[in-house]
């Protein structure tokens, strides 16, 4: 198996690898293929931010996107639930499929898509509403709960899954903005999983948190991946190593290499990856 990897250079932009390679190489148990992005190019106005990115994201696992600042990893993540649509000057080309379905197809409604592909942001951004209302926001939007009892249950389950229930169950009416940073971020996670999305995108979810809160979130991610497909952008290589099964390394808008996390950190095939994970730049 090792030899096989040697034969074939790492998956790079110049030489995209076949997906089955990862199947073979995966030591961790990966779920079915969830998202497949092919030749994604993206422009902000005149400036091109992504160049021919090819990446696959699998269910029941965590895929980490790492790379130096401005390498396009966050931008790519935001393509996956069409958050970039909000920016006028942003133009996306390429093919991104969720369960084999082109998410940029004209008949796909980004509103519906985003309910299936949830997102957690860099800075905790609870709405200036109560904790309960924060979690109930999305189910209410999509009209998922007919009765108050159902809504209560959804809120409770989501908060339990986000590991926040015990801390806030007595003060669900308190404003979400009054929680601590780590709690706020878990509230945002609860909010995102309240509609039971299939994919959860996390854009540096711990960068604004202290180490203890970070550890809590990482444990949470580990639990959540049992039922979810998670893609996480992170600045911290330790975090990528801790939480992810697969890691993709971005550099200057290009996907340099994607592989099992252990492989990326111990035996990367590209020199740039090597330099980055050993701390020589970035």
Partner 1 sequence: MSSLTILAILIGAGVLAYFIGRMRSIQTCGGQQQNLHSRPSYHGYYLAILTALPAIILLAVWGIAERPLTRYVAMQELPAKVLQGSDAEKALTMSVVDTIAEGLPQLSPEEYEVLRKARYGFVTTSDARDVLARHGVVLGSDPDRSLLAAADELASRAEPAGSRCRSACFALAALGFVWGYSRIRPELRARNIVERVMRGGLFLASTVAVLTTVGIVLSVLFETIHFFQFVSPFDFLFGTVWDPRFATVGKAEGQFGLLPLLWGTLFISAVALLVAVPVGLFAAIYMSEYAGSKVRAFAKPVLEILAGIPTIVYGFFALSVFGPLLRDLGFNIGLEISASSVLTAGIVMGVMIIPFVSSLSDDIINAVPQSLREGSYGLGATQSETIKKVILPAALPGIVGAVLLAASRAIGETMIVVLAAGIAANLTLNPLEPVTTITVKIVSQLTGDLEFNSPQTLVAFALGLTLFIITLALNVYALYIVRKYREQYE
Partner 2 sequence: MTDQTASLASFTGEEAQKKLRKRHRAERRFRAYGVAAILFALAFLVFLFTSIFSQGWSAFLQTSIKLPVEFSQDVINPSGNPDAEDEIFRANYVKLARAALYKQLGIDAEDRKVRRDANKLLSRGVDVQLRDMVLRDPSIIGKTEDVWLLASDDADALLKGSIDRKTPSDRRAVNDQQVAWIDQLVDKGDMEKRFNTGLFVNGASSNPETAGLGVALIGSFFMMLTVVLLAVPLGVCAALYLEEYAPKGKISDTIEVNINNLAAVPSIVFGLLGLAVFINFFGLPRSASLVGGLVLTLMTLPTIIITTRAAIRAVPPSIREAALGVGASKMQLIGHHVLPLSLPGILTGTIIGLVQALGETAPLLMIGMVAFVVEYPTTPLDPATGLPVQIYMWASSAERGFVERTAGATMVLLAFLIVMNSLAVYLRNKFERKW
CB closer to partner 2, 23 vs 101: 101
3-state secondary structure of 208: coil
Nearest 5 degrees, angle CA 210-CA 213-CA 214? 80
Q: Which does 119 bind (CB under 5 to 8 A by kind): partner 1, partner 2, none?
A: partner 1
Among residues 263, 221, 198, the alpha carbon closest in space to that of 35 is found at 198
User: Are residues 66 and 249 in contact, defined by beta-carbon separation less than 8 angstroms?
Assistant: yes
- The distance of closest approach from Cβ of residue 226 to partner 2 in the complex, given in angstroms and rounded to an integer, is 12
String marking each residue 96-115 x if it binds partner 2 according to CB under 8 A: -------------x-xx--x
Instruction: Give CA–CA dist 160/223, Å, rounded.
Output: 12
Q: Is 13 in the site for partner 2 (CB under 8 A)?
A: no
User: Are residues 62 and 243 in contact, defined by beta-carbon separation less than 8 angstroms?
Assistant: yes
Applying the rule CB under 8 A, the residues between 187 and 206 that interact with partner 1 are 188, 191-192, 195, 201
Q: Which does 157 bind (CB under 5 to 8 A by kind): partner 1, partner 2, none?
A: partner 2
Edge-to-edge strand list for the sheet holding 61-66: 101-102, 90-98, 33-44, 47-58, 254-260, 246-251, 61-66, 229-233, 199-203, 117-120
- Per 3-state DSSP, what percentage of the chain is helix, strand, and coil (rounded to 5)? 40, 25, 35
Piece of 30-38, 111-119, 232-240, 269-277 that binds partner 1 (CB under 8 A): 111-119
The pair phi, psi for residue 15, each rounded to 5°, is -130, 85
Q: How far is CA 212 from the centre of its chain?
A: 21
Q: Which does 143 bind (CB under 5 to 8 A by kind): partner 1, partner 2, none?
A: partner 2
- The distance of closest approach from Cβ of residue 144 to partner 2 in the complex, given in angstroms and rounded to an integer, is 4
String marking each residue 36-75 x if it binds partner 1 according to CB under 8 A: ----------------------------------------
String marking each residue 157-186 x if it binds partner 2 according to CB under 8 A: x-----------------------------
Q: Is 52 exposed, middle or buried (0-12, 13-18, 19+ CB in 10 A)?
A: middle
Q: Is 143 in the site for partner 1 (CB under 8 A)?
A: no
- The distance of closest approach from Cβ of residue 159 to partner 1 in the complex, given in angstroms and rounded to an integer, is 16
- The distance of closest approach from Cβ of residue 153 to partner 2 in the complex, given in angstroms and rounded to an integer, is 6
- The distance of closest approach from Cβ of residue 105 to partner 1 in the complex, given in angstroms and rounded to an integer, is 17
Kindly state the tokens that stand for 231: 């893609």
Q: Is 248 in the site for partner 1 (CB under 8 A)?
A: no
Interface with partner 2 by CB under 8 A: which residues?
Answer: 109, 111-112, 115-116, 139, 141-145, 150, 153-154, 157, 195-196
């Amino acid at each position: 198996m090792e030899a096989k990897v040697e034969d074939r250079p790492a998956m790079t932009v110049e030489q995209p690898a076949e997906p089955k390679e990862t199947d073979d190489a995966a030591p961790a148990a990966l779920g079915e293929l969830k998202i497949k992005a092919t030749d994604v190019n993206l422009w902000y106005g005149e400036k091109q931010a992504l160049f021919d990115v090819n990446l696959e994201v699998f269910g029941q696992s965590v895929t980490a996107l790492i790379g130096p600042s401005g390498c396009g990893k966050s931008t790519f993540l935001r393509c996956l639930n069409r958050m970039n649509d909000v920016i006028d000057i942003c133009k996306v080309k390429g093919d991104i499929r969720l369960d084999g379905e082109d998410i940029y197809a004209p008949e796909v409604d980004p509103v519906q898509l985003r309910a299936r592909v949830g997102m957690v942001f860099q800075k905790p951004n609870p709405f200036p509403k109560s904790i309960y209302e924060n979690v109930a926001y999305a189910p209410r939007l999509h009209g998922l709960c007919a009765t108050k009892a159902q809504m209560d249950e959804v809120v409770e389950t989501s908060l339990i899954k986000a590991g926040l229930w015990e801390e806030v169950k007595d003060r669900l009416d308190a404003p979400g903005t009054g929680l601590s940073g780590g709690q706020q971020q878990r509230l945002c996670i609860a909010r995102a999983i309240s509609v039971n999305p299939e994919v959860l995108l996390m854009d540096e979810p711990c960068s604004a948190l202290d180490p203890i809160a970070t550890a809590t979130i990482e444990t949470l991610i580990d639990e959540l991946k049992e039922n979810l497909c998670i893609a996480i952008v992170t600045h911290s290589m330790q975090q990528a190593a801790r939480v992810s099964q697969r890691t993709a390394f971005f550099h200057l808008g290009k996907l340099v290499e994607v592989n099992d996390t252990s492989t990326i950190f111990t035996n990367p095939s590209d020199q740039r990856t090597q330099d980055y994970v050993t701390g020589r730049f970035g």
